[in-house]
Structure 1
Amino acid sequence: MITLNNVSKIYRTGDIETRALKDINLTIDRGEFIVILGPSGSGKSTLLNVISGLDSVTSGRITFKGHELTELSGEELVEFRRDHLGFIFQQYNLLQVLTVFENIQLGSDLCRRPLDIDELLEKVGLSNARNKYPHQLSGGEQQRVSVARSLAKNPDVIFCDEPTGALDEKNSKQILEILQELNTEYQTTVVVITHNLGIAEMADKVIKMNSGEITEIITNKTKKAARDISWG
């Protein structure tokens, strides 16, 4: 589904160059659950940003279903993200003046083939909170709204940047369990970046990064359920 060929990203500040990504070659297949693992500064977020079209590459090619993303204009990339991608971040990014239902509706209104909002609310366990506002919810509940909003677009790929970073173990595993179920049920490709080694246990493929390079790619022969992974 997604292929990266010799992708590099260099940030320049005056005469100083920082090579955030160094000749990355990677293939992500449809329906895979991918975990990108590495310490802070390893290039995880930069990799997510260039794959998703949030940032441009300095060199190399990225293709999505045979279409070269690195040739698209800014306007075309916005349309690509709208039609094909969902995002979940550590911050919930909910609009405080909108209800749970209305926040999720923001996602469904952006696409041509949205999923049913009430079905999503039931799936993330928030049917009874559909008319509540974010300030009336716990952190774990707010992140579940964020997950539902992302899924409402019925995306091909969901990119998750430290989605459990602000949550405790119990709430984190609930979020990961939802992502795992949706990956299985809808064959949605899920890409999670994290520094938590335990999350790697539930992945089809683990991509280890350090200093802007992929140091190892591991294919898990057996995957653990989110509730059974080790933590920390």
Structure 2
Amino acid sequence: MITLTGVTKTYRSGDIETAALKSIDLEIAEGEFAVILGPSGSGKSTLLNVISGLDTVTSGKISFRGKELTGLSESGMTRFRRQYLGFIFQQYNLLQNLTVYENIQIGSDIGTDPLDIDELLLKIGLEKTRNKYPSQLSGGEQQRVSVARSLAKNPAVIFCDEPTGSLDEANSKNVLKLLQELNREYRKTIVIITHNTGISEMSDKVIKMNSGKIVDITINPTKKDAKDIHWG
């Protein structure tokens, strides 16, 4: 589904160059649950950004379902992200003056084949809060709304940047359980970046990074349910 070949990313500040990604080769299959694991500064966030088209590569190629993305114009990449990709970040980024339903509708309105919002509310267990505002919800509830907003437009891939970074263990596992169900029931491709090794136990593929390189790729023979993963 997603293929990276010889991808590099170099940042320049004056005369100083920093190689954030160094000759990355990677494949992520359709319907796969992949975790990109590594310490701060390992390049995992940069890798997610170039895969998702939020940043450009310095060299190399990225393709999606056989179509090369690295040659797209900025407007072409924007259309691609709008049609195929969903994003979940550590911060919920909900609009405080909109209700739960209205926040999810934002995602639905930009999709070409959106999912039913009422069904999503049932899926995330917040059907009774549809008319509440974000300030009336817990952190875990707000992140579940963020997940539903991302899913509403029915993307092919959902990219998650430390989606549980600001949550406690119980709420984190609730959010991860929801992502796991989306992967299983909707066959969504999920890509999570994290420093939490426990999250890798629920994935199909674990991509370990350090110093801008992929140092190991592991395929899990069995996957744990989100509620059973080691935390911390």
Partner of 2:184: 184
- Gap runs ≥5 in structure 1: none
Distance in 2 separating the partners of 1:173 and 1:110? 29
Tell me the residue number matched to 1:156: 156
User: What's the counterpart of residue 7 of structure 2?
Assistant: 7
% identical aligned pairs: 73
What are the superposed Cα offsets for residues 78-102 of structure 1, whole Å, 9 maximum, x if unpaired?
1000000000000000000000000
- The TM-score normalised by the length of structure 2 is 1.00
Aligned to 2:41: 41
- Give 1:79's aligned residue: 79
Structure 2: distance between partners of 1:70 and 1:122: 38
Offset of residue 52 of structure 1: 0.3
Which amino acid letter does the alignment assign opposite residue 60 of structure 1?
G
Matched residues in 1 for 2:73 and 2:19: separation? 24
SS in 1 for 2:70: helix
> 2-side partners of 1:114 and 1:4: how far apart?
28
Normalised by the size of structure 1, how large is the TM-score?
1.00
Displacement of 1:111 after TM fit?
1.0
Q: Give the partner amino acid of 1:59.
A: S
Distance 1:139 1:216 in 2: 33
Aligned length: 232
Cα deviation code 1:99-125 (max 9, x no counterpart): 000000000000110000000000001
User: Are residues 1:131 and 2:131 paired?
Assistant: yes
**Structure 1: distance between partners of 2:26 and 2:125:** 35
Q: Deviations over 1:172-201 (max 9, x none)?
A: 000000000110001100000000010000
**2: CA distance between counterparts of 1:111 and 1:199?**
29
2:119 matched residue in structure 1: 119
Aligned match of 1:228: 228
Structure 2 CA distance, aligned partners of 1:57 and 1:218?
25
- Structure 1 runs of 4+ aligned residues shifted over 2 Å read none
Which residue matches 2:213?
213
Counterpart CA distance in 1 for 2:197 and 2:70 is 31
Q: How does 1:57-68 map to 2 (within 5 A)?
A: 57-68=57-68
What's the C-alpha RMSD, in Å, of the aligned pairs? 0.3
